[in-house]
Chain A
Amino acid sequence: MLTFQHCKIINLAYPKRILTEPSGMKCTLYISILLFFISFSPTDLKAQAGDDIPSITYSQGKIIGSLPYGRHFFIVGSSKLPSGGRADAVKVKIWSTGRTIFNSKKKLQPLEGNILASVLAAPPLDSAVWYADRTEDINTYRLYMDRALQFSSEYILEFSFSERVNFNLTEDEKTLIMNKIQARVMKLAQDKGGVSVSEIGNIINEEVAGYLSSTDEYASLFEGGVSTTSNYSNIPVSPLTLQNLSQVIGKMSSQQQIIDVLQPQIQEATQELAQMDSTSEETQDMKAQIQILQNQLDKAEANLKEAQDNLPTLLQVIRSKLVETYSSYVITSPEEISVTELNAIKIGTSFGGGMVGFNTFQENRDLDAFGYTALKFYLLPVDKRVADPYLTGAFFINKLSILAGVSVSGELNYHGQPLDKAVGFYPIVGLSYDVNRYLSLDLGATMFKQASISPLTNDSDIRIGPVIGVNFDGDLFNRFNALFSGSGYKINPGN
């Protein structure tokens, strides 16, 4: 591996002298060049590279600044609502639009409505909920986002604020609601020949919700530039209570059905009896049957009356629950679109070895190998400090860079003829493909001077030869930047 102690070229103006200078001085110059590039680094790199979990602010419907990437983060904001109240819960959902931004100075075109709708229809990439602690007088929420976002990517955020408003119903109002519930259940049982537990539950919820919505004085407080929904159907009646109530009302409806079945039969039988011979055996049978029917009818009527008398007591549980009835208002802000702007230097620093291969198939098997150092200018955003350093979705080109460098060791020859350095060194230009964050394969060209083989002249021609190489990329610009800013280089998702 090449180290600083092996550096040989730096000062392009005096190549001959540099070759004889001590290696320590050469490395000092190298560091100077690194510092030069660091001076072009983004100013907010320090904030990103800190070890603390970063926080961003959501205020007045906007994300202030850029979304962090490669790590978990907090979203903080005020839980105060336009109504003057405070949100009981704040929820955020994040979707990726799948679009990437390569240049932070350029704005992406607004998303078309149908594309936006399809993105929002999919499950969110991440979501978090914050619940207010009513025992504390705090108006700030903090949402912990435990999924690392990708750099240079566009995201949609949707914030929902929920507030619970309690309703205080009078006894008369409760009686009114309960009577409506009872009447609807009986009607349904009559129409459909019976009634189910879930139908009774739905009727209870619908009647309570309907009454509350007709008397709701709160909904108007939540208007103003945001979509508001209210939910009255979350009456806090336990399934067991609902089951018991359904049993009672269900049995009542059955008794009413028995009455409805028996009454016309008794009428019909009585009419038949009137037309019979009073002394006949059939008359006695008919009288007996009418009596049986009448007994059952009497029993059903008694049961119904008893159930109705007991209903207020049985409904007491529900009546008490109506005190706790509330509505959850949810304010959903318009979708906020934000991007994770790259704040790393997307220039790689490589140290490698390559070969020109002029003599591969000749008797002279000199491989023409030489060492070089180069800068790699990535075509797409890259940040090697994070777990996923390359943009996903952009195949091949996401790991491709333009290579520009110089040789630091080795001499080229062609069939034993030395090839002079073109400008004091062999320059290298080409393309580099990252096998991983540290290793890359290079393909390019180098330039050299080939002296004329004629003994009559000292002229030499500038020529170009192909180069294939392998290099190690230490991402030195970002490492030095982290070093000088006092922060860690590596960005871990959890801190």
Chain B
Amino acid sequence: MSKPIVKFLQDPPIEINCQEDCEVKLSITPNAPGLCKVVVSTLLQSCTFKQSGTDEVEVEVECQEGETEVECSILIQMQCQEPDEYFTLLMAKAINSEEETSFRKPIEATIKCGPTV
């Protein structure tokens, strides 16, 4: 079976502000019907996703039989140890219902975190 394919639909860099939600738009080609998991992660050790408290956030996308490409957007929010401006990458990968994992797609990201009030 073919691997799923994931693509970012935004131009780099993705600008993330810690104070608000950031929309990450993705295109998923699941290459299999059913639930497809999409994982967005960061390489940066100083920051995590608020939703999960870890370096990755996961969503599930329902893919119908015969559906070749699904567009989805994920709202992410990040938190960092120190207020600063960071240069890093966001990574996305998809795992389809047949447990096939896509290649990881990187995209540049800048994370701006102001001091918490």
Q: Is A225 an interface residue (CB 8 A)?
A: no
CB distance from A260 to the nearest CB of B (A): 9
Kindly list chain A residues whose C-beta atoms are within 8 Å of the C-beta of B110: 250
Contact of A253 among B13, B45, B84, B87 (CB under 8 A): B87
- Nearest residue (CB) in A for B91 is A261
Contact B31 A257 (CB under 8 A): no
Q: Is B5 an interface residue (CB 8 A)?
A: yes
Q: Is A234 an interface residue (CB 8 A)?
A: no
- A257-B89, A261-B104 are contacts. A197–B31 as well, Cβ < 8 Å? no
CA separation between A125 and B89, bound complex, in Å? 52
Contact of B44 among A194, A265, A285, A293 (CB under 8 A): A194
Q: Is B34 an interface residue (CB 8 A)?
A: no
Q: Is A104 an interface residue (CB 8 A)?
A: no
Kindly list chain B residues whose C-beta atoms are within 8 Å of the C-beta of A257: 43, 88-89, 106
- Nearest residue (CB) in B for A293 is B103
Kindly list chain A residues whose C-beta atoms are within 8 Å of the C-beta of B105: 296
Q: Is B71 an interface residue (CB 8 A)?
A: no
- Give 1 or 0 for each of A250-294: 1 = CB within 8 Å of chain B CB: 110111011001100100010000000000011001100100110
Kindly list chain B residues whose C-beta atoms are within 8 Å of the C-beta of A251: 13, 87, 108
Contact of B13 among A246, A254, A265 (CB under 8 A): A254
CA separation between A319 and B27, bound complex, in Å? 44
Contact of A254 among B31, B85, B104, B108 (CB under 8 A): B108
Q: Is B46 an interface residue (CB 8 A)?
A: yes
Contact B46 A194 (CB under 8 A): yes
Contact A198 B84 (CB under 8 A): yes
CA separation between A197 and B1, bound complex, in Å? 44
CB distance from B46 to the nearest CB of A (A): 7
- Give 1 or 0 for each of A225-246: 1 = CB within 8 Å of chain B CB: 0000000000000000000001
CA separation between A253 and B13, bound complex, in Å? 13
- Give 1 or 0 for each of B1-20: 1 = CB within 8 Å of chain A CB: 11101010000010000000
Contact of A265 among B43, B45, B103, B109 (CB under 8 A): B103
- Nearest residue (CB) in B for A247 is B87
Kindly list chain B residues whose C-beta atoms are within 8 Å of the C-beta of A195: 86-88
CA separation between A246 and B103, bound complex, in Å? 30
CB distance from B102 to the nearest CB of A (A): 8
Contact of B104 among A199, A247, A253, A265 (CB under 8 A): A265
The total of chain B residues at the interface (CB under 8 A) is 29
CB distance from A157 to the nearest CB of B (A): 38
Q: Is A192 an interface residue (CB 8 A)?
A: yes
CA separation between A196 and B80, bound complex, in Å? 11
Q: Is B79 an interface residue (CB 8 A)?
A: no
Contact B89 A254 (CB under 8 A): yes
CA separation between A70 and B108, bound complex, in Å? 65
Contact B2 A193 (CB under 8 A): no
- A193-B42, A194-B44 are contacts. A262–B106 as well, Cβ < 8 Å? yes
Kindly list chain A residues whose C-beta atoms are within 8 Å of the C-beta of B62: none
CA separation between A296 and B2, bound complex, in Å? 21
Q: Is B82 an interface residue (CB 8 A)?
A: yes
Kindly list chain A residues whose C-beta atoms are within 8 Å of the C-beta of B103: 265, 269, 289, 293
- Give 1 or 0 for each of B30-63: 1 = CB within 8 Å of chain A CB: 0100000000001111110000000000000000
Kindly list chain B residues whose C-beta atoms are within 8 Å of the C-beta of A246: 85, 87
Instruction: Name the residue in B43, B44, B47 with the highest tally of chain A Cβ atoms < 10 Å from its Cβ.
Output: B43
Contact B31 A194 (CB under 8 A): no
Contact B45 A192 (CB under 8 A): yes
- Give 1 or 0 for each of A360-381: 1 = CB within 8 Å of chain B CB: 0000000000000000000000
Contact A193 B44 (CB under 8 A): yes
- Give 1 or 0 for each of B85-102: 1 = CB within 8 Å of chain A CB: 111110100000000000
Smallest CB-CB A-B distances: 10 pairs:
A194-B88, A250-B87, A193-B43, A194-B44, A196-B84, A285-B2, A197-B85, A254-B108, A193-B44, A261-B106
Offer 17 A-B interface pairs, CB within 8 angstroms, sorted by A: A193-B44, A194-B42, A194-B45, A194-B46, A194-B87, A195-B87, A199-B84, A254-B13, A254-B109, A257-B88, A257-B106, A261-B91, A265-B103, A285-B5, A289-B103, A292-B7, A293-B103
* Known contacts A261-B104, A285-B3, A286-B3; 6 further A-B pairs (Cβ under 8 A): A192-B44, A192-B46, A255-B108, A258-B89, A258-B106, A269-B103
